[in-house]
């Protein structure tokens, strides 16, 4: 049984229209006109217990709005949503114990107090006993490598340590469903790796379901086998991450190292040249002619090495968003 079910989920809201100048200001003050913005349009998907799913899209695509509907922060304009069997917008206590929402640009820890004090407040909110509190804090602290950090004021922690402490605070009640909105935003490479490793371990240990949005494709590649792709409020793709290449990148890259330097004019017939540096050449070739092109290159040129690769997934997604063609 699916733990997250969204059916024809939509969210629209009115935005006031103001003409420029004094006349426009006066008119706007006394008689406002509005236009509707469709932030999310008829989005449907199911997520099974224990899945880690990436939620991708450019800024303004509707990712955060969807997360807010799934967590009950805002009510859907139309459509239905169930998370762990509950209607999120009713915000029942049992539902709130089953989920958490972590936003990389927001914080819940009290800035001037040690993180452990904020954790005690969370424990009281979720009715966690002292014994269970110390057990969970010890367990999560070890997983996050925060053993010596919880007694320091939050403002004294590095950004990476603060994000780990935010994760600890959000997971203290052992939620079944994690909604993560840019959890590695602004972190350095080492801190990003630490957060990814923790999330992977947490998912494996507790079989928690994770819906992750991130602009860092390294997060998605490291954690997610399935992705949802949203663009201008509409769900454009739901499937395996590697399936994105099959759907949106009908080409392959051929890297060739030649025995001698050749001019571009002599190489252009084999494909679009993306790189030509000395004896190294990188071609872009349509999938349907890949085998024939490789055969031609091996037959016609003196090749030292040849490699066929998929284009980088972040490059593919970037081109899709930029072109708006699906």
> For residue range 246-283, what is the model confidence (pLDDT) as tens digits?
777 778 889 999 999 999 999 999 988 988 999 999 99
Is-contact 231 326, C-beta < 8 A?
yes
Structure tokens at 274: 């993306």
Q: Of 16-25, 162-171, 172-181, 250-259, which range is least confident?
A: 16-25
Per the document, the length of the chain is 326
How far apart are the C-alpha atoms of 62 and 67, rounded to whole Å? Answer: 9
Mean of pLDDT values over 160-188: 91
Place of tokens 């994105």: 244
Q: Which residues contact 319 (CB under 8 A, 6 or more apart)?
A: 248
Q: Are strands 251-258 and 280-286 parallel, antiparallel or unpaired?
A: antiparallel
Would you say residue 316 has pLDDT above 80?
no
Mean of pLDDT values over 170-185: 93
Instruction: Calculate the dihedral angle through the C-alpha atoms of 273, 251, 226, 106, rounding to the nearest 10 degrees.
Output: 30
233, 284, 227: which is closest to 255 by C-alpha? Answer: 284
pLDDT at position 276: 93
Would you say residue 319 has pLDDT above 70?
no
Q: Of 87-96, 168-177, 238-247, which range is least confident?
A: 238-247
Structure tokens at 225: 């086998």
pLDDT at position 36: 86
If one compares 167 and 315, the residue with the highest pLDDT of the two is 167
Mean of pLDDT values over 301-306: 94
Q: Of 135-139, 223-227, 255-259, 312-316, which range is least confident?
A: 312-316
- The pTM is what? 0.80
Ranges of each domain in the chain: 250-309
326, 319, 322: which is closest to 274 by C-alpha? Answer: 319
How far apart are the C-alpha atoms of 30 and 17, rounded to whole Å? Answer: 13
Mean of pLDDT values over 81-105: 92
Would you say residue 138 has pLDDT above 70?
yes
pLDDT band at 57 (very low <50, low <70, confident <90, very high): confident
Backbone angles phi, psi at 82, to 5 degrees: -130, 130
Would you say residue 191 has pLDDT above 90?
no
How far apart are the C-alpha atoms of 30 and 178, rounded to whole Å? Answer: 45
How far apart are the C-alpha atoms of 190 and 194, rounded to whole Å? Answer: 6
Structure tokens at 235: 């769900």
pLDDT at position 167: 92
Widest distance between CA atoms in the chain: 77
**CATH number, span 250-309:** 3.30.70
Would you say residue 103 has pLDDT above 90?
no
How far apart are the C-alpha atoms of 180 and 103, rounded to whole Å? Answer: 6
């Amino acid at each position: 049984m699916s733990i997250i079910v969204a059916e024809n989920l939509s969210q629209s809201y009115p935005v006031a229209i103001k003409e420029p100048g004094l006349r426009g200001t006066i008119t706007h003050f006394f008689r406002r006109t509005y236009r509707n913005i469709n932030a999310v349009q008829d989005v449907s998907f199911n997520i099974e217990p224990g899945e880690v799913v990436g939620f991708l899209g450019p800024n303004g695509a509707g990712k955060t709005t969807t997360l807010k509907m799934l967590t009950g922060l805002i009510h859907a304009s139309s459509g239905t949503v169930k998370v762990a069997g509950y209607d999120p917008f009713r915000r029942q206590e049992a539902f709130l114990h089953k989920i958490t929402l972590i936003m990389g640009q927001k914080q819940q820890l009290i800035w001037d107090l040690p993180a452990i004090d904020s954790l005690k407040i969370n424990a009281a909110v979720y009715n966690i006993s002292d014994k269970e509190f110390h057990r969970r804090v010890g367990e999560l602290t070890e997983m996050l490598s925060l053993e010596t950090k919880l007694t320091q004021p939050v403002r004294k922690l590095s950004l990476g340590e603060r994000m780990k402490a935010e994760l600890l605070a959000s997971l203290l009640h052992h939620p079944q469903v994690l909604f993560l909105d840019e959890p590695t935003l602004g972190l350095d490479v080492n801190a990003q790796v630490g957060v990814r490793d923790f999330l992977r371990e947490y998912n494996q240990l507790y079989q928690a379901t994770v819906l992750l949005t991130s602009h860092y494709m390294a997060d998605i590649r490291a954690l997610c086998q399935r992705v949802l792709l949203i663009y201008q409020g509409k769900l454009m793709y739901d499937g395996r991450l590697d399936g994105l290449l099959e759907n949106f990148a009908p080409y392959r890259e051929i890297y060739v190292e030649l025995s001698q330097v050749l001019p571009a004019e002599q190489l252009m017939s084999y494909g679009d040249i993306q790189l030509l540096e000395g004896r190294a050449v990188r071609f872009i070739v349509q999938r349907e002619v890949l085998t024939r092109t490789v055969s031609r290159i091996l037959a016609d040129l003196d090749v030292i090495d040849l490699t066929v690769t998929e284009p980088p997934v972040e490059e593919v997604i970037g081109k899709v968003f930029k072109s708006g063609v699906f």
